[in-house]
Amino acid sequence: MKKQPIGIFDSGVGGLSVLLEINAFLPNEDVIYLADSKNCPYGPKSDEQIIKLSIRNCEFLIANSCKAIVVACNTATAAAIEVLRSKFNIPIIGMEPAIKPAALNTNTGKIGILATKGTFNGKLYKDTSEKYANNIDKVVQIGDGLVELVENNMHNSEEARQLIFKYISPMINNNVDQIVLGCTHYPFFKSLILDILPEHIKLIDPSLAIAVRLKSVLKKAGILSVKPQGKLIFYSSGEINTLQILVKEYFQKVESIQKITLDTN
Ligand code: DGL
C-alpha cells in the first residue's frame, strides 16, 4: 500500500496549487491528479450535482489504486466530504477555509474571504466561521469569473487584473489585515493580488496546511511512501491545454498528461 499513489481531484486545474505543496512536502509520493475540467466550475452547481461528480472522481482514483484522496477543491469539500468519507474506505482529506489562522492573527479584527458561492453556502464555512471567527468582521466576496480565467490560462491577463482589483479593493478599504484564499484556483492570482496589497495585509493560502495534514494522516496509517522519487500522472475530463501549460511550468517528474472520458460526462 505504501507504494500506491495519492489521488487528488479538483473541478479543474486549481488543485495544482495544492499539488505543488504536496509534491514539495512529500516528494517520495506518486500522485494521480484528476482535473474534472469538463464540469468546471463546480461553484454554481447544486450540492447534489457536486456530490455525484465527487463520488465519480473518487471512484476513478480508487480504480487507479490510490491509497488516499485529497479533495483539492473547497467547493467539493463543502458539498461532498461527509458523503465521500462514509462511502469510501481510504483516508480522504478535504480543504478547509483558512478562517482559523486569519481570525487568530488579525489585529484589526477584520478579515477578507474570497471563495466560490458553493463554499460560502456550505456547512463547513458556517461552522468554521462560528467556531473561530464569531466576533470578527468578515468582508466576503464571491470570486465570480476567476475560476474560468485560470481554466483558460488567463490568470495574468488584464481582465484578471481588473477583476482582482474589483474583489480585493473593498477588503483593503474595509481595513482587513488577513485575506483568505478560499478556492484552490485563487493562488494563481497571488502575484496580481500582492501587486495591490499593502504590506501589512497577509494573504492566506491553506495548501501547505493540507500537505502537512496529509503527511500526518499517511504516517498514522503506516502508508507513507518509501520510494526515492515519486512520479506525477495527470488526467483531465475536458480541455487539456491549460493543464499541459501549467504542469510544464510548475512540475518535474511528470509521467503523463491524458484526456479521459468519465462515466457521467
Ligand atoms: N478549485 C475549486 C475550489 O477550490 C473551484 C471551484 C469551482 O469549480 O467553482 O473551490
Q: What is the mean pLDDT of residues 36-45?
A: 94
Residue 238 lies in a domain: yes
- Same domain? 91 vs 104: no
- Same domain? 10 vs 85: yes
Question: With bands split at pLDDT 50, 70 and 90, how would you rate the model's confidence at 93?
Answer: very high
* Residue at a domain's end among 186, 205, 224: 205
Atom of ligand 1 nearest to the CA of 44: 9
- Same domain? 26 vs 90: yes
pLDDT at 264: 63
Largest Cα–Cα distance of the chain, in whole Å? 51
- Same domain? 113 vs 41: no
**Radius of gyration (Cα) for the chain, nearest Å?**
18
143 lines ligand 1 (CB under 6 A): no
Summarised one tens digit per residue, pLDDT across range 188-244 is 999 999 999 999 999 999 999 999 999 999 999 999 998 888 999 999 999 899 999
* Residue at a domain's end among 205, 222, 244: 205
- Same domain? 116 vs 90: no
112 lines ligand 1 (CB under 6 A): no
Residue 56 lies in a domain: yes
- Same domain? 248 vs 181: no
How many Cα atoms are found within 13 Å in the side-chain-facing hemisphere of 164? Answer: 26
60 lines ligand 1 (CB under 6 A): no
- Same domain? 191 vs 178: yes
Of 199, 192, 6, 211, the C-alpha closest to 95 is 211
Question: With bands split at pLDDT 50, 70 and 90, how would you rate the model's confidence at 96?
Answer: confident
* Residue at a domain's end among 160, 178, 205: 205
Known catalytic residues are 73, 183
Of 215, 257, 216, the C-alpha closest to 236 is 257
Distance, CA of 159 to CA of 97 (rounded, Å): 26
User: Residue 43 Cα, ligand 1 centroid: separation in angstroms?
Assistant: 6
Query: Where do we find the cell 494573504?
Result: 203
To test the ligand 1 pocket, which listed residue (18, 150, 184) has its Cβ within 8 A of the most ligand atoms? 184
User: Residue 196 Cα, ligand 1 centroid: separation in angstroms?
Assistant: 23
pLDDT at 4: 96
Q: Residue 63 is part of a domain; what is its CATH number?
A: 3.40.50.1860
Atom of ligand 1 nearest to the CA of 78: 10
Residue numbers of the domain that contains 251: 6-95+208-259
- Same domain? 125 vs 83: no
Domains in the chain, number: 2
The residues facing 181 across adjacent strands are 114
C-alpha cell at 220: 498514522
| Global confidence as pTM | 0.95
Of 75, 39, 44, the C-alpha closest to 145 is 44
- Same domain? 89 vs 217: yes
User: Residue 76 Cα, ligand 1 centroid: separation in angstroms?
Assistant: 7
Residue 265 lies in a domain: no
Query: Where do we find the cell 450535482?
Result: 49
Residue 1 lies in a domain: no
- Same domain? 104 vs 200: yes
- Same domain? 212 vs 195: no
Mean pLDDT across the chain, nearest whole number?
A: 95
User: Residue 12 Cα, ligand 1 centroid: separation in angstroms?
Assistant: 8
- Same domain? 212 vs 85: yes
Distance, CA of 175 to CA of 110 (rounded, Å): 7
pLDDT at 265: 47
Residue 264 lies in a domain: no
SS (H, E, C) the chain: CCCCCEEEEECCCCCHHHHHHHHHHCCCCCEEEEECHHHCCCCCCCHHHHHHHHHHHHHHHHHCCCCEEEECCHHHHHHHHHHHHHHCCCCEEECCCCHHHHHHHCCCCEEEEEECHHHHHCHHHHHHHHHHCCCCEEEEEECCCHHHHHHCCCCCCHHHHHHHHHHHHHHHHCCCCEEEECCCCHHHHHHHHHHHCCCCCEEECCHHHHHHHHHHHHHHCCCCCCCCCCCEEEEECCCCHHHHHHHHHHCCCEEEEEECCCCCC
To test the ligand 1 pocket, which listed residue (8, 11, 124, 144) has its Cβ within 8 A of the most ligand atoms? 11
User: Residue 222 Cα, ligand 1 centroid: separation in angstroms?
Assistant: 31
Contact of 172 with 62, CB cutoff 8 Å: no
17 lines ligand 1 (CB under 6 A): no
The residues facing 71 across adjacent strands are 9, 94
Contact of 81 with 124, CB cutoff 8 Å: yes
